[in-house]
Amino acid sequence: MAGTRVYVQEGIYDRFVERQAQLAENMKMGDPFEEGVQNGPVISEKQMKKILGLIETGKKQGARLVTGGK
């Protein structure tokens, strides 16, 4: 899944963001063939730069990074 938008009711926004951050922090990274791994490595330096660029673009547009990254 590579969703680009999530619509969240204002009344639960803070709880939603907190829970999503917890899920991301607890996500098991590693060898995708290992049991329980939810996310394998990025396939190339080019893709890594694209992902980091998307994060920077989001921050410039007002997004707030709540876990990981810098």
- pLDDT-based confidence at 70, cuts 50/70/90? low
Model pTM score: 0.71
Rounded to whole angstroms, the Cα distance separating 53 from 51 reads: 5
Is there a contact between 27 and 38 (Cβ–Cβ < 8 Å)?
Answer: yes
Q: What is the pLDDT of residue 9?
A: 97
Q: Encode pLDDT of 48-62 as tens digits.
A: 999 999 999 999 999
Q: Encode pLDDT of 6-22 as tens digits.
A: 899 999 999 999 999 99
List of residues 6+ apart from 15 with CB closer than 8 A = none
The ranges assigned to domains in the chain are 10-60
Helix or strand or coil: residue 57? helix
Q: What is the pLDDT of residue 13?
A: 96
